[in-house]
Structure 1
């Protein structure tokens, strides 16, 4: 059976307490035995008076400290002597004092900030995540939570949520200027010319792959009396001219490219400045979002994604687990190599931890107070005695020795003065 670590610790502390208590009690009994023997032979051997004086004073010191230590936790010998069993009688006040002490001396912003200042949370997290077993274990836990989260969400609710959120968010977006800025960025990088080249190649491929179809369409449109050879010559001439135009368009200095450049600049300018363009684009987006077919598409898309995620999460070689593990490892390595991000993360964690504890220190202190108030008198007395009783038993031992030495000193003084 697994035992609570706290219970195991308390058992060990109680064993140590019992051991020291037996020693202190045994020392008291030893002093009593020495006192009786010394008292018996003191007349025959006068020097034994020194031993008797030491043992007598040691017993007094031991008994006084035994009474003081016992009075903290219980009534000595079961007698209801005033101002004894102090902890039992004042457990609520003690709980309130401990809670107040913790709140105002341990959970302050200065104390917590000082304690966390040198803690490198990011480094500890990096070292932990870089270990394959740890990153894999965390990835499996994260992926394992996916099915449960997905089952909580209804497909219809997702579709409605996406539509509502998208509609609300897109109402605030100015599409034309945004598209204009995007085109301007693409133009600045020469991407629009690559698009132009791609369109030319698509047209050339279309001509090449559809030669039979074009030939047949020309033949179907020609008069019946026109010879087939003339149709063929017209077809060949048409394709030749179209290919020549495409070759001309491929030239970097062609007039076609110049016109395309001017048209691109004109479109960018109108997208950025024309209210008409903005109104037309916004209307197209709204109409798309309002269509039932679009909502049905969103629901079906979500359903497909959900099914794939749930099916993948249950597989032994889950791609989600693999990707999460790779992402966690990559994150740890990137964090290790970027000192600036590490410092920012540490600073954020320290600030978050400090503010969280400080803002809730009253609740934490109240929790300590409530827990102690719920304990009965025997429980709190036992817990306090287990944790500090060992040291208190050493007070009894010290009291025995110091008391004996004081008694011996006083006896010697009396002999000198007498």
Structure 2
């Protein structure tokens, strides 16, 4: 919206321009009228002198025809805007009498010639909309303003989602898609990626460390010793064979664990490789494994906790976003602004993406113009109809009236030449 001082300045400039046009129009009218009066005066003077000076007959013929031509063109020009001399002559005051038809034709002319699909599309294709978007987003201040605007909308959008059926719809659709997924082959593929380059040996190392810690745990050793004592004969227990066996077992196990940890090619490691590979193959091909995996998936999806998880997630997300956006140092707004700036810079370096975006802009805007052009035509016609007829006439006369006055000059000149030609023809034909 323009400032009041700017609007006043524009109106003053427009009024000065109109005043200059009116002054020029009045001067031209005065000159044309004076020329017409001069033609009449010359005609009368030449007629009075032609008996004494026959050459004045030619001047009289020229002046008479020029006056008639000037008068006829004066009538034609005046008839466009008003009734000549106020007389109710038919087919005069053409513009005021045909205001509605002019309004309809003007609106239809703009619709057909300016808002046709071809010219509109050609004009739109001249504009690089995507580059304008890129330059706009690349400005840090504008992107920051956009991030603030988006930041105000995000909590409202989350609240709308939370209060609508969209959450249940999303959960239902996600559940349907998950139900279509074959879990066993997917798990086999994931494990295959995990076991590449024998990365599963890291899991085996962790298992070895767990066993190592178990061998040094007093409670675990006591439980193992009790189990050994239960299995040995009573006589062996008298000689504390359980303690001896436990010591041997722990020592042997510790030695084995140390050997396996130190040797990357230990047979136990290769045995673990074979176990893992066999398990993955069974998971991928075994119908029994597949059935168990599908049953586990169905049981998981049927649990009510899973459906409540989406609601809890949205509530937590909304709470976090609202708290963050309330802060002056909002991380969400900062990341949004950075993202918008980065998108703008990357868009500037991607001509193919810009071309696709521009094509989309052209299609969308051309379709919009095509759907709305009849409304534009009606709007223009209605606006012209609402104009005050005196204002409309004055507007047209101010802008083209001066040029129309030159028709009077041309009428006088052409009429005079035609009258002179006819007079010469008359003298030649009739030899007088």
Q: Secondary structure at the match of 2:342?
A: helix
- Distance in 2 separating the partners of 1:388 and 1:280: 88
What is the aligned partner in structure 2 of residue 28 from structure 1?
A: 29
* 2:282 paired with 1:308: no
* 2:289 paired with 1:289: no
> RMSD of aligned C-alpha atoms?
4.7
- How far 1:308 moved relative to its partner? 0.6
Q: TM-score, normalised by structure 1?
A: 0.73
- Distance in 2 separating the partners of 1:236 and 1:117: 83
Which range moves more in the overlay, 218-227 or 253-262?
218-227
- Distance in 1 separating the partners of 2:86 and 2:297: 87
CA distances 1:267-325 after superposition (whole Å, capped 9, x unpaired): 44444444433333232222222212222333222211111112222322222222122
Answer whether contact 1:55 1:404 (CA < 8 A) is retained: yes
What is the aligned partner in structure 2 of residue 97 from structure 1?
A: 108
Which range moves more in the overlay, 286-295 or 155-164?
155-164
- How far 1:155 moved relative to its partner? 5.7
- Distance in 1 separating the partners of 2:312 and 2:356: 41
Answer whether contact 2:24 2:402 (CA < 8 A) is retained: no
Answer whether contact 2:191 2:280 (CA < 8 A) is retained: yes
Residue in structure 1 matching 2:262, options 238, 247, 250: 247
Q: Assess, with a 3 A threshold, how the Cα gap between structure 1 residues 377 and 180 changes in structure 2: closer, same or farther.
A: same
- Distance in 2 separating the partners of 1:329 and 1:156: 33
CA distances 1:51-94 after superposition (whole Å, capped 9, x unpaired): 998788556534422322x26xxx67777654433542426743
Answer whether contact 1:91 1:380 (CA < 8 A) is retained: no
Q: TM-score, normalised by structure 2?
A: 0.71
Which range moves more in the overlay, 290-299 or 236-245?
236-245
Q: Secondary structure at the match of 2:327?
A: coil
Q: Secondary structure at the match of 2:112?
A: helix
Answer whether contact 2:184 2:293 (CA < 8 A) is retained: yes
- Distance in 2 separating the partners of 1:61 and 1:307: 81
* 2:231 paired with 1:219: no
Residue in structure 2 matching 1:199, options 199, 203, 207: 203
Superposed counterparts of 1:131-280, under 5 Å: 131-154=139-162, 157=165, 159-187=167-195, 190=196, 193-194=198-199, 196-203=200-207, 206=210, 214-219=217-222, 221-222=224-225, 238-248=253-263, 251=264, 253-280=265-292
What is the aligned partner in structure 1 of residue 53 from structure 2?
A: none
Structure of larger gyration radius: 2
Q: Secondary structure at the match of 2:387?
A: helix
Q: Assess, with a 3 A threshold, how the Cα gap between structure 1 residues 172 and 389 changes in structure 2: closer, same or farther.
A: farther
Residue in structure 1 matching 2:338, options 316, 320, 326: 326
Q: Assess, with a 3 A threshold, how the Cα gap between structure 1 residues 343 and 201 changes in structure 2: closer, same or farther.
A: farther
Structure 2: gaps of 5 or more residues = 50-55, 230-237, 428-432
What is the aligned partner in structure 1 of residue 116 from structure 2?
A: 107
